[in-house]
A and B are shown apart, each in its own frame.
Chain A
Amino acid sequence: MPIHQGLHGDEVDFENIWGAIASAFREIHTKNASRLSYEELYRFAYRIVLKKKGEDLYLRVRQFEHEWLSNEVRGSIQALFSPNVLASPQSLGGTTTNERRVAGEKFMKGLKQAWGDHQVCMSMLADVLMYMDRVYCQDNRRPSIYTAAMMLFRDDILKTPTSDVEGRLVLDLLTHVILDQIQMERGGDVIDKHLIKSCVYMLEGLHEDDQESEELRLYTASFEVEYLETSRVFYRQEAELLLRESDAGGYCKHARRRIYEEEERCKSTLLEATSAKIQKVVEDELIKNRIHELVEMESGVRFMIDNERLEELNLIYDLNTRVDDKKTELTRAIQKRIVDMGTDANNAAIAASQAPATTADAGEKGKSPAQEKNINMQTVAAIRWVEDVLHLKDKFEKIWRDSFQSDNLLQTALTRSFADFINSPTFPRSSEYISLFIDENMKKGIKGKTEMEIDSVLEKAIVLLRYIQDKDLFERYYKKHLCRRLLMNKSISNEVEKQMISKMKIELGNNFTLKLEAMFKDMTISEELTSGFKHHVDGLGEKDPKRIELTINVLTSMTWPLETMGGTGDEEGKRPKCNFPTAIDKIKRGFEKYYNQKHSGRQLTWLANMGSADIKAVFPRVPSKDGSFKERRHDLNVSTYGMVILLLFNDLPAGQHLTFEEIQAQTNIPHSDLIRNLQSLAVAPKTRILIKEPMTKDVKPSDRFSFNEGFNGKFVKIKVGVVSSGNKVESDRERRETEKKNDDSRAFCIEAAIVRIMKQRKELPHQQLVLETLSQLATQFKPEVNMIKKRIESLIEREYLERIDGASLDSYRYLA
């Protein structure tokens, strides 16, 4: 070529110039570019294109590359197909893993080398042919020569059969080799990740079609599909094997490790785009399809809960979360375990309370110490139950916090399960037991505890209360127990009582604590009354040395569950008036007068069965067993009835006696109360102030009583306990009564709710009325639908409602 020829000279000799270009390209492909002038080659191509021979040049270059790849490169690749590479895992005949790995690496290295060379050469060629790309390819919408050459590599190398006899393509062989290597890594071998990654990049850089569409990259369209499928098979088999041979905890650890490994593999060996897909495969095969079996394994969730395997529970939570937002399987297992364990606690409580219950019912009239013990055992069982439940609660709370990352859904599930067994129809006593638990703590439990500790005890009670469905029943028990504590001064601290009530107020609302607060108010007013009355008596001037001090509790009859205090609630209304001794009667009348001055029109009913009295008693000089001979003074604390009985003996000459019937006639104390009081005064060994003839445990109407002059107590102050004064578990009979009363008051609540709803809605279908009634009462209790129906009937009878004739659904109308 004459050097001084201009760019726009006359005709170009295409064949000649092409010959020069082709031989230069061969030099480039054999890495001999150093003697070539870029400018010269560029100028050749430039001129050809300028003379409108771009198409010829393009086709020639492509043909050149096709021939180069087919004749030079393919041969060098085929030289790498050793039998060890071609061996499929199915016919492993004679090849070891290591041999396969080495051969595979050699093959991949060769391919990687060929690919790399091709890329470098082609970018050099493309730069030389820059003007062709810029002008010819763009004007004729041809792919750039570089792209075209890449497609040639795909077609002439990857998509050719590995040999003349075998139909398998080089591409398939490559996929197979990579998968084989990955399988080796899963088995614990070390493989050349970089090498594989290079091959993966090659597959990613090439496309299935000539349009270079994104989703048809060779990697995605060919390799990835295969990879996911073989992995699926592998993990399916692995899951089966592991479930058979490993425990649940080990399985979880393994599964998590596999997920992590696959993620890492995508980063280091494959492409991150595959990460989500392969993880889905692992999750499906190792978790989703197996989670049920896993949870139910002998070493599954139940085992983990029972043995506090927090870490394993966390693993299983993590795994379950991956495949299921709702964590159905885990939730189900947890709920079942809670209900099972809760039911165990329930059954234990029932067993502990039922065994002695039979005898307790039989001996209703007179309670022997043995039966007393039984009742105590029941109370212990009740408190035990509460503690069991709290323990359970703590246990699952801990698991929830430490293993389940305080998951919201699981918290709801836990709450529901606790509510389930606490409100189980086979276990109707939870309300009573919780109230008893509080009672026990108020009387003894909190003694000597710090404020923090007390607060946590109260908080625990509230936690349980939250689960209780029949809040009204709880209120009934709580009132009853609180009543005893207040009137008998059993509470350790009024402050704590009030704290408890304010806690309940926060939890259950104002309505719930209204009456409880009223009880406290009555107590405060009564204190004022007592001191006011004392002041009043002082003001009367007459200083009576024998004056009796009166402490009075005026209780609003609607607020206090007094019938439960009386023991024999049936006689309500016609409660016989006890005959008080004159001295007492006088002060009683005095107080009535004083009270009426303050609040006119109020009726005071004296409940002698609930009071107590302190008596100073003098026992005369009689020779006693230890030889002493002196007067003994004792301060006796007895029930009001006991005081009335003892005062009878004041008027009786020494040595005389009174029969049971005489005592009853003179005092008018109810039969059962009298028996109990006489038992504690004459039978109980430490407080035998009266002598009973004959000396038996039971009190019969014909028995005679006389003053025990020889009584000798160890202490100056003696408390004469009256049988059955603490808060105990109810006997079955009492329980039936409580339930009946509760049902009665529920009936009122339901009616009130129905009327409220109907007043507002005027007309409503039956089904909706029932639903709204249920939702209105939800905070108090869950009424039976039957009961609601009955109340509706009753309201119709009383003409509050009427049925709407001809309505398609059963409907009611409110009658103003």
Chain B
Amino acid sequence: MADSNLTEYVTLVSNDGFEFKILRSAACLAGAIKNSLDPTYGFKEGSDNRVTLPTINGVTLEKVCEYLYYNQKYAESKDAPDMEIPPELCLELLIAADYLDV
């Protein structure tokens, strides 16, 4: 139903109004985002290509997106460089990861 709507990029929205345009393939590495966008299900997110995440703030979501790209880039390689994570974000990120099923 949403086949024609299958864009290359999708938008992730944080609870403080930041929008992140991110490659669909990277975004779908997160289980919850993937499900929400599944074209066969026809949820609202799928037809809008836009996922609003009211539990995640902009700073955290930025880091999440960075990680999704990072993950996509180094998925195949063995010696990936460490990703820099500021200590103050650690807890927020863990909660977001559990929620998004990354």
Contact status A42-B32, CB under 8 Å = yes
B40 to chain A, nearest CB (A): 7
Q: Please list 7 pairs of residues, one from A and one from B, whose beta carbons are closer than 8 Å in the complex, sorted by A's number.
A: A3-B54, A7-B99, A33-B43, A36-B44, A38-B35, A39-B54, A43-B54
A118 to chain B, nearest CB (A): 15
Contact status A37-B101, CB under 8 Å = no
- With a cutoff of 8 Å between Cβ atoms, the chain A residues found around residue B43 in the complex are 33-34, 36-38
B36 is an interface residue with CB less than 8 A from chain A? yes
The residue on B at minimum CB distance from A34 is B42
- Of B18-26, B45-53, B67-75, the one with at least 4 CB within 8 A of chain A: B45-53
The residue on A at minimum CB distance from B51 is A39
- With a cutoff of 8 Å between Cβ atoms, the chain A residues found around residue B47 in the complex are 34
Asked if A130 meets B41 with Cβ closer than 8 Å, knowing A43-B54, A43-B55, the reply is no
B77 to chain A, nearest CB (A): 28
What total count of A-B pairs have CB within 8 Å? 57
The residue on B at minimum CB distance from A121 is B41
Asked if A37 meets B35 with Cβ closer than 8 Å, knowing A46-B99, A134-B101, the reply is no
A35 is an interface residue with CB less than 8 A from chain B? yes
A-side residues, CB < 8 A to B, are: 3-4, 6-8, 33-39, 42-43, 46, 120, 124, 127-128, 130-131, 134
CA distance A46 to B95 in the complex (A): 12
Contact status A42-B36, CB under 8 Å = yes
Instruction: Using A7-B55, A7-B95 as known contacts, list a sample of 14 further A-B pairs with CB atoms less than 8 Å apart, ordered by residue number in A.
Output: A3-B15, A4-B15, A7-B99, A33-B41, A34-B47, A36-B44, A37-B52, A39-B36, A39-B51, A39-B52, A124-B41, A127-B35, A130-B32, A131-B101
CA distance A34 to B41 in the complex (A): 8
B62 is an interface residue with CB less than 8 A from chain A? no
Residue among B44, B53, B55 making CB contact with A6, cutoff 8 Å: B55
Residue among A3, A36, A130 making CB contact with B35, cutoff 8 Å: A130
- With a cutoff of 8 Å between Cβ atoms, the chain A residues found around residue B52 in the complex are 37, 39
**Which of B36, B40, B51, B54 gathers the greatest number of chain A CB atoms within 10 Å?**
B54
The residue on A at minimum CB distance from B40 is A120
- With a cutoff of 8 Å between Cβ atoms, the chain B residues found around residue A124 in the complex are 41
Contact status A37-B44, CB under 8 Å = yes
The residue on A at minimum CB distance from B43 is A38
A122 to chain B, nearest CB (A): 12
- With a cutoff of 8 Å between Cβ atoms, the chain A residues found around residue B95 in the complex are 7-8
Closest 7 CB pairs of A and B: A38-B36, A38-B43, A127-B35, A33-B42, A3-B54, A37-B44, A7-B55
CA distance A34 to B32 in the complex (A): 17
- With a cutoff of 8 Å between Cβ atoms, the chain A residues found around residue B15 in the complex are 3-4
A129 to chain B, nearest CB (A): 10
Asked if A39 meets B45 with Cβ closer than 8 Å, knowing A120-B40, A127-B35, A130-B35, the reply is yes
A1 to chain B, nearest CB (A): 9
A146 to chain B, nearest CB (A): 13
- With a cutoff of 8 Å between Cβ atoms, the chain B residues found around residue A42 in the complex are 32, 35-36
- With a cutoff of 8 Å between Cβ atoms, the chain B residues found around residue A33 in the complex are 41-43
CA distance A598 to B47 in the complex (A): 122
CA distance A43 to B45 in the complex (A): 14
The residue on B at minimum CB distance from A126 is B35
The residue on A at minimum CB distance from B96 is A7
- With a cutoff of 8 Å between Cβ atoms, the chain B residues found around residue A134 in the complex are 101
Contact status A127-B38, CB under 8 Å = yes
Asked if A38 meets B31 with Cβ closer than 8 Å, knowing A4-B54, A7-B55, A134-B101, the reply is no
CA distance A36 to B36 in the complex (A): 10
B96 to chain A, nearest CB (A): 9
Contact status A39-B41, CB under 8 Å = no
The residue on B at minimum CB distance from A134 is B101
- With a cutoff of 8 Å between Cβ atoms, the chain B residues found around residue A131 in the complex are 101
CA distance A35 to B47 in the complex (A): 10
- With a cutoff of 8 Å between Cβ atoms, the chain B residues found around residue A130 in the complex are 31-32, 35, 101
CA distance A588 to B101 in the complex (A): 123
The residue on A at minimum CB distance from B36 is A38
Contact status A127-B41, CB under 8 Å = yes
CA distance A131 to B101 in the complex (A): 8
- With a cutoff of 8 Å between Cβ atoms, the chain A residues found around residue B53 in the complex are 39
**Which of B36, B44, B45, B55 gathers the greatest number of chain A CB atoms within 10 Å?**
B55
CA distance A131 to B35 in the complex (A): 12
CA distance A130 to B32 in the complex (A): 8
- With a cutoff of 8 Å between Cβ atoms, the chain A residues found around residue B36 in the complex are 37-39, 42
CA distance A134 to B102 in the complex (A): 13
A42 to chain B, nearest CB (A): 6
The residue on B at minimum CB distance from A135 is B98
B24 to chain A, nearest CB (A): 15
Contact status B44-A35, CB under 8 Å = yes
The residue on B at minimum CB distance from A37 is B44
The residue on B at minimum CB distance from A4 is B15
CA distance A33 to B47 in the complex (A): 11
- With a cutoff of 8 Å between Cβ atoms, the chain A residues found around residue B31 in the complex are 130
B71 to chain A, nearest CB (A): 19
